Structure 1
Amino acid sequence: MPYSEAAFRPALGTAHGAVPAPVTVFDDETPAVANLDPALLDALRRAAADAAGDGVGFLVNGGWRSPEYQEYLLREAISKYGSEEEAARWVATPATSAHVSGDAVDIGPPAARAWLSEHGAGYGLCQIYRNEPWHYELRPEAVEYGRPSLYADPTHDPRMRAPRSH
């Protein structure tokens, strides 16, 4: 059966992790934030509170996602980029996505990303992919050892080759 965007869109909204407008990291009502891994959310909120002292606000553009919503985003990316291979540089499968497991968050605006780039490792919050400056994951070891090297894009991340479990 051919993919139909209309078949997905009506049923997949904020309950599935969509973030139609950015929300604060302190929003406990939006599933994209509320369903994040508790350790990630704690680190994110501590960083956001400290960044606010520097006049920088954090907004969540994406966080936890249902497998269905992740599949929808993947199909959109395949349509946009023309192939599964090219789409994989930007969107993971539901089986491999750190968003589906609640282990990734997309942060904005640019000032928040700049603040995290400079200070995030102190909270264990690390950018993972060079091509996605908004995508952060928790790496607790970064507090002591600094942030890990960036992957060029998700296709270079060995985790994208095997299903994730949480």
Structure 2
Amino acid sequence: MANLDPELLKALRQAATAAADGGVDFHVNSGWRSPEYQNQLLREAVSKYGSEREAARWVATATTSPHVSGEAVDIGGSNATAWLSRHGAEYGLCQIYRNEPWHYELRTDAIDRGCPRMYADPTQDPRIQQ
């Protein structure tokens, strides 16, 4: 949880406490990542998917990844992601990419308006465009 945006961490803790009251445990599989680690993940994705274009559907560069800036978490456990899909907006926690049900970011407007429409994958996110 080191280096996460303080507001994201606060929202995540509040949501995890509420989920735990209902018997659901959160597991943060990935939070903040160093630029070096993000680049390693990207190299591995290129190797796995066969091209930079296909890898970009799953892994952003170190300069564009919200993980590197501490603004994203990957949540483990299907119970936890199901709970977040139902209740995350109450805490400003939103799934951003349709192809990554584990990836959540803080969207404080979601508390009042609900989460914004998801992008199909990171290649559709204007913040990630390289």
Tell me the TM-score normalised to structure 1 length.
0.77
Alignment correspondent of 2:126: 158
Alignment correspondent of 1:38: 6
One of 54, 60, 63 as aligned partner of 1:92: 60
Per-residue CA deviations over 1:21-52 (Å, capped at 9, x if unaligned) read: xxxxxxxxxxxx12110000000000000000
Number of aligned residue pairs: 130
Distance 1:152 1:73 in 2: 20
Alignment correspondent of 2:33: 65
Counterpart secondary structure, 1:106? strand
Write the letter of the residue equivalent to 1:38.
P
**Equivalent residues in 2 for 1:73-84, closer than 5 Å:** 73-84=41-52
> What residue ranges of structure 2 are gaps of 5+ in the alignment?
none
> What residue ranges of structure 1 are gaps of 5+ in the alignment?
1-32
The answer to whether the aligner puts 1:48 opposite 2:16 as a matched pair is yes
Alignment correspondent of 1:120: 88
The answer to whether the aligner puts 1:137 opposite 2:128 as a matched pair is no
Counterpart secondary structure, 1:160? coil
The Cα of 1:67 is off from its aligned counterpart by 0.3
The answer to whether the aligner puts 1:108 opposite 2:76 as a matched pair is yes
Tell me the TM-score normalised to structure 2 length.
0.99
The Cα of 1:70 is off from its aligned counterpart by 0.2
Counterpart secondary structure, 1:60? strand
Write the letter of the residue equivalent to 1:144.
D
The Cα of 1:61 is off from its aligned counterpart by 0.6
Alignment correspondent of 1:148: 116
Post-superposition, which runs of at least 4 consecutive aligned residues in structure 1 deviate over 3 A? Answer: none
The Cα of 1:108 is off from its aligned counterpart by 1.2
